[in-house]
Amino acid sequence: MKYKNTMKLLSIFLLFALFSYCKGPDKPDTLPTIQEEPMKTKEELTRALNSANWQDRSLALVEIAKVKDTNFLPDIRSLLKNDPNPAVRGSAALALADLEDKHSTKDIVNLFKDNEITPDIVLDALTRMKDNTAANAIIPYLDSDNHTYRLLAVEALSTIGIQTGSEKIISMATKNKDFEKAKTYAMVIGKLKLAKGESILLQIAESSEPSPTLAAAYLGLGRIKSKKAIPILTKAIGSDFEKGRENSSLALKEIGDTSANPLLIEYLKNKNREIQFSAADVMASLFDTKTADRILQVLESSDKSVFAPSAFVLGKYKYEPARKKIESITKEKSNPDREILAQSLGWLQNKESIPLLKEILQEKEGEGRYGAAWSLGVLNAEDAIDLLQEAANGKDNKLTRIAIESLGQIRSPKSLEFLSKKVESNKELSSALLTSIASIPGEESAKILDRYALSDETNIQKVALQAILQRKDKSNIPTLIKILESNKNAETISGAQLALKAISGETFSSKNEWINWFNKNKK
């Protein structure tokens, strides 16, 4: 047992080991962002694996796993079974898992019996291995008294899946009397979509006080698509338990049954704004005509507090019969939440709302302008370009940003000169501006991005490279290669390489490989 504490130091040691590699001068054939020493040769790794020093053996295992060299599998398998040091045996298990050596799964499972290796190392290795034949060995850890082991077991099972063992999990969950462990079972039943665990989750949901366990049960009920849970989940939408409300919303969307809508409509009238919009958000994903008709009736009331959540749902439904009513209440400056009301006109996708939205955008103040600017972009309102450019030049930062984004959505070359000049005058908005430029098709926008990608200002250059990556236009490739040839900034070079990968589909990892590829194919 003299190595008992060694495993506790393994994680720290491995981090130190990885850090120790990250030094040395730039080399033209490697990614400058890593700046690592040359990898050890196979002869050096072989010597390290046979070293009398356990640290050398562990470091070699880390490097072998990193380069995915399967030639060392026999040596690593031997270390897993026979090495006297538990840190090396644990490192061997992780290396074999990274190399996806399923031949070793059984031997890694046997490490659960090794008193010098903690279960978290074994669970981590089996998770990486992704071999569902290990499931039965992992399942008992769902009942561990160690909270960390239980969570790792859930993660492992949800990653590798199970072919057998579901009955065992359900049996363990049924017998469980520990409230903390009940959360573990709720999580694993949900993640593995074990429909046979429905009654267990329902019992937890019906009997638990607000807690992480209750929230996990709600989420699990959604993942197994339990229609029996709809009354419980809709009731949770109206509760003060915030995490339960959040998970119930997710669950109801995942179940996807419109029978939840009649139970949610009354929440549109709730005095709690968060409850109103939680209910609206769920209903927005569960369209049915009867619900739309009933929500329109709610919108027709004189209660201004229901206007925004009701318009939100009807807008998401693209429910045309509601448009005139939404337009009429959006006109009234006294109505609260005009931003959402104006946005709902964009979701409705009817260009007949454009004149009203342009009118609202020209108001001197108010949040309605934000929704109007956004909707004009969504509606591709080219006749609003001048107004959006004017709004983008204003002093309201939120309106400026939304207007810039909308100009990108409209995708008109008419905006290019304005957007390009604004990059020069307002560098804080360069990300939004260059993203909008990238959204506009054509040779001119590509040239603008080229220009900023070659900028002397690192921040502008970085954003331009991100925009080029987003655009994926082959005409930008020569500029990216020029950056690799002339730029010495590691972050800039990395950004250029990521953009090249996105555009070309190639996966080279060094400057020279990219340059050689370009020179070979540019003709």
Q: 427 with 482, same domain?
A: yes
If one counts every other C-beta atom within 10 angstroms of the C-beta of residue 35, the result is 15
- Confidence band, pLDDT 50/70/90 cuts, at residue 481: very high
Give the Cα separation of 106 and 204 in Å (integer): 35
Tell me the residue range of the domain where 485 lies. Answer: 415-523
Specify the pTM: 0.83
Asked whether the predicted pLDDT for residue 465 surpasses 50, the reply is yes
Contacts of 287 (CB under 8 A, 6+ apart): 258, 317
Domain CATH number, residue 457:
1.25.10.10
Q: 171 with 88, same domain?
A: no
Q: 175 with 240, same domain?
A: yes
Closest CA to 264 of 291, 240, 288, 242: 291
Q: Are 339 and 370 in contact (CB under 8 A)?
A: yes
In a domain, 400, yes or no: no
Q: 119 with 142, same domain?
A: no
The domain boundary, picked from 210, 239, 256, lies at 256
Q: 174 with 228, same domain?
A: yes
Mean pLDDT across the stretch 103-116?
96
Give the Cα separation of 67 and 63 in Å (integer): 6
In a domain, 45, yes or no: yes
Q: C-alpha distances in angstroms, 280 versus 259, 261, 387?
A: 14, 9, 32
What pLDDT score does 426 carry? 87
In a domain, 31, yes or no: yes
In a domain, 149, yes or no: yes
In a domain, 296, yes or no: no
What pLDDT score does 490 carry? 86
Mean pLDDT across the stretch 276-304?
96
In a domain, 450, yes or no: yes
Q: 104 with 182, same domain?
A: no
Q: Which two tokens mark 449?
A: 């991005």
Higher-scoring residue by pLDDT: 265, 16: 265
The domain boundary, picked from 211, 227, 256, lies at 256
Q: What is the chain's Cα-based Rg?
A: 30
Q: How many domains does the chain have?
A: 3
Q: 57 with 34, same domain?
A: yes
Phi-psi group of 53: left, alpha or beta (phi > 0 → left; psi -120 to 50 → alpha; rest → beta): beta
User: Mean pLDDT over all residues of the chain?
Assistant: 91
In a domain, 362, yes or no: no
Mean pLDDT across the stretch 281-307?
95
Asked whether the predicted pLDDT for residue 48 surpasses 70, the reply is yes
Helices (H), 362-429: 368-378, 385-392, 397-410, 416-425
Higher-scoring residue by pLDDT: 148, 24: 148
Helix (H, G, I), strand (E, B) or coil at 523: coil
- Confidence band, pLDDT 50/70/90 cuts, at residue 39: low
What pLDDT score does 418 carry? 96
Asked whether the predicted pLDDT for residue 27 surpasses 50, the reply is no
In single-letter form, the type of residue at position 353 comes to: S
Q: 118 with 4, same domain?
A: yes
Closest CA to 200 of 158, 166, 151: 166
Q: 182 with 251, same domain?
A: yes
Q: Which two tokens mark 33?
A: 């962002």
- Confidence band, pLDDT 50/70/90 cuts, at residue 38: low
Q: Are 354 and 381 in contact (CB under 8 A)?
A: yes
Share of the chain above pLDDT 70, in %: 92
The domain boundary, picked from 229, 256, 283, lies at 256
In a domain, 136, yes or no: yes
Residues 346-371 as b/e (b if ≥16 CB within 10 A, e otherwise) read bbbeeeebbebbbebbeeeeebbbbb
What pLDDT score does 9 carry? 42
What pLDDT score does 231 carry? 98
Mean pLDDT across the stretch 483-511?
91
Give the Cα separation of 91 and 57 in Å (integer): 9
pLDDT tens figures, 150-174: 999 999 999 999 988 899 999 999 9
Q: 104 with 141, same domain?
A: no
Q: 123 with 137, same domain?
A: no
Q: 1 with 115, same domain?
A: yes
If one counts every other C-beta atom within 10 angstroms of the C-beta of residue 14, the result is 18
Q: Which two tokens mark 97?
A: 């898992």
- Confidence band, pLDDT 50/70/90 cuts, at residue 3: very low
pLDDT tens figures, 73-84: 999 999 999 999
Asked whether the predicted pLDDT for residue 93 surpasses 80, the reply is yes
Give the Cα separation of 511 and 164 in Å (integer): 48
